[in-house]
Structures are given as C-alpha cells and as structure tokens.
Structure 1
Amino acid sequence: MNTDQDQLTSIGSVTLEVTDPESAARFYDEAFGLGERLRLRQTEVPSSGFRGFTMSLIVAQPAEVVHLLDAAVAAGATVLKPAEKSLWGFGGVVQAPDGTVWQLASEAKKDTGPATHRIEHVVLLIGADDVAASKRFYSDRGLTVAKSIGGYVDFAIDGSPIGLGLYKRRALAKTVGVAADGSGSHRVEINGDAAAFVDPDGFAWAPASGPASS
C-alpha cells in the first residue's frame, strides 16, 4: 500500500543528465528559457538511441512554434520534423545537442498575433512499453487520468509546472521521427513532490526540494 509520501501531485522540474552542463545550459537559455523547470546534471553513463521520452512545449499559436524552432536551431538543435500543420494543430520536433527530443506544438492552426516566446505548458511524455500497466502505476500514486485514448494517456496535474503523459514507446518514437531502439540510461530524472521511486519503464523520480543541479 502506498503511503502519503508516495502520493504524487506535482512535477517541479526535470533534470537532464548531460555530458557538458555548461554547453547544455547555454543551449537551453538561448532556445527555450525554461528557468527552474529544467535542471542539468553531468553524467558519463552510456546511452544510445531513443531514450524513451520526449519533452513537449505547448504554445498558443503556430508563430510561437516557428519562433521556438528557429531559436533552437540557431542555438544548435537538429530538426527532426519541420513545423507544419497536422490534423490536431501545428507543430515540429527538434533534438537538442545533448540528445533530448523536444516537441513544439500548438492546437491552433492560425496566428492571432506576433510571436512572444511564451510557453503555455511543459509536458513530459514517457514512452511506455505497457501503457496500461504504467497508467495503473501512476494512478496508484494519486494521479488522475484526464484523457486516455488508445495508447495515449494524459494525467491531470493542476498547477504543476510540468505535465505528464504516457504513450506507447514505438508510437512515440514514430511520432517524433526517430527509431524506437535504444539502450542504456534514459538520462533524465523527474523531480516530483513524492518520495523517490522508479516506474515500470525504469524512469527515476526524486523529490524536487533539492537545489538546482549544475
């Protein structure tokens, strides 16, 4: 049985494990400017291929997607999918120099004003091998499912600096335009308000109360 300390209600930040924190910090400051929502920690632990997760930046209009994509490319990112319209809105995908995959998306298909570099929501999307099992795992830790369609799950975490979703690993890789195969470390730690744990797909969680990593 889970205790109160196991109950998860918020994600304060995500810590990316990178080989060069100084270079990564410079990239993220120039590209996205996420502040305390994104932390960095040096690592030399092996990791290859798809790391099993993506970070999504949700914005208000297509102009913001293009603006962020251009800023990321100027800072050193690689375009995996160019910004374009889709059935659900407008979006593009880039890969940061440290290897993290970022989805840039807007539900809107038309602009209502100039780009402002404003990010409405940051969402961590975990590629789960068994979405149903991972859904139960997180539900047992107090999270409420806001949306569950096919192999996609979105959790309701009101007021949380970072949202959380699940998607079938191979489907997520296909969505962002990379091969699904990968091995080694996920190179990410998720900083929530619960006691430390590891989920069914090997993603490590730790309390968010500690100081920012560098």
Structure 2
Amino acid sequence: MTSIASVTLEVADPAAAERFYDAAFGLGPKLRLRASDAETSGFRGFTLSLTVSQPADVEGLVGSALAAGATSLKPVAKSLWGYGGVVQAPDGTIWKVATSAKKNSGPATRDIDAIVLLLGAEDVKASKQFYVGQGLTVGKSFGGKYVEFEDGAGPVKLALYKRAALAKDAGVPADGAGSHRIVLGSTAGPFTDPDGFAWEAASLATSE
C-alpha cells in the first residue's frame, strides 16, 4: 500500500531549522530538512498536526515551540473537539498540536501519538481520486470536505482538507503564492498532485 515514506521541509537554513525542531518537538528522523531559497509567500497550503494524549502535553509542546522561536497563531484553548493550539515555526511551517481529551490523565510527556499532514485542496474530491489512482487507500471520507488516507507503515498520515477551511483552522489568510516548501517521499513517486504538491521516490528523499 502506498503511503508517505518521508516528509521533507525546504528551509532557508537547515541547521537552524534542525535546532528548532529538536527543541520544540523532538521529531528526529520523522522530519527531514533540505536547503531551499524558492520564493514563497502567504499560506503554503498545508499544515502539520501533532496529536497527543492530554492537554498537559499540548501545553508542553506548544510552550517549547514558542520558547524555541515559534510564533503563536492560535493560543492553546478548549474547543468542542478537545484542546489545542497552532504555532508557526521560524521557517514558516504551520504546526497544530492537539488532543481530543479534555482532562489530563497523568504527568505531562513529550510523546506524540500521530503526525498528520493536511494538504489544502481546491477540489477535495478530485484530489482524492488522484491519490487513489496513485495507490493510496482511503480511510475516512466526508464528501468534498475532508479525506484521510490509511497510513500504512509510514511515519506520517496524509489527509486532504479544503484549502480555505485549512487556512481558517490554522488562523491565517488563505492567500499564498510560490513554492509549497514541502516535498513528500513514497514508493509511488515521482508525481505532482492537482494542487502542486511534489512527491519524489522515497530513495531520493534524503535529509541534509
């Protein structure tokens, strides 16, 4: 089954980005970095979400990200679905940290239960069909609003969301232009999806 084998963020300064991500989230090899000076502005059309077990974990990870230099886009708060907050890394990547739990069950940890890459799609149904054609398997689907694919053995789960709705969820304007500044690796690559997100063969997705 096709799945994401790697996620590579294209950043201006890989060494600085590595220091930030080690201090903020401790993702290690689950996240790769590559030098790039490709022009980009505004919303890049994607967010990365970290799912954790309890509110204390959300507060800890968001706090460490802010201490390492991230900018708050949505302060940590309760909602109908749980508890979470949104930050923007110094390299421009938007991260959401959230839990469905509304109460703590124990001491805070830095354990991350899942990493979800949400791609903003202009036409979710069309993008869904495109990815099915590339060998991905649909796990959940809610019409033209949201699609989640089965993650297989990959470190990151892939989901599609309406671009405007994703920007709203992240707390930023939907306008954006230029490079997405992200490259995905899989056994099905290389290809480019309908919204311009680039995939490459997993063997080529090396970190720098």
Give the whole-Å Cα distance in 2 for the aligned partners of 1:211 and 1:143.
19
Which runs of no fewer than 5 residues in structure 2 stay unpaired?
A: none
Aligned counterpart, 1:115: 108
CA deviation vs aligned residue, 1:8-66 (integer Å, no higher than 9, x gap): 62212211011111111100010011111111111111000000000011111111111
Give the whole-Å Cα distance in 1 for the aligned partners of 2:91 and 2:30.
17
Aligned counterpart, 1:86: 79
Aligned counterpart, 1:186: 180
- The alignment status of 1:51 with 2:20, answered yes or no, reads no
Aligned counterpart, 1:100: 93
Runs of 4+ in 1 over 6 A off after TM superposition: none
1:211 Cα offset (Å): 6.4
Amino acid at match of 2:185: N
Give the TM-score taking structure 2 as reference length.
0.96
Alignment of 1:142-181 (within 5 A): 142-150=135-143, 151-181=145-175
CA deviation vs aligned residue, 1:126-153 (integer Å, no higher than 9, x gap): 0001101001111112222221224111
Secondary structure in 2 aligned to 1:189?
A: strand
- Percentage of identical aligned residues: 61
Which runs of no fewer than 5 residues in structure 1 stay unpaired?
A: 1-7
Aligned counterpart, 1:4: none
In the alignment, which of 125, 130, 134 is matched to residue 132 of structure 1? 125
Aligned counterpart, 1:74: 67
Contact 2:184 2:199 in 1 (8 A): yes
- The alignment status of 1:9 with 2:30, answered yes or no, reads no
CA deviation vs aligned residue, 1:141-194 (integer Å, no higher than 9, x gap): 222222122411111123321000000000000011000000000000011222
Give the TM-score taking structure 1 as reference length.
0.93
Secondary structure in 2 aligned to 1:11?
A: coil
Q: How many residues align?
A: 207
Instruction: Please tell me the root mean square deviation across aligned C-alpha atoms, in Å.
Output: 1.2
In the alignment, which of 55, 63, 69 is matched to residue 62 of structure 1? 55
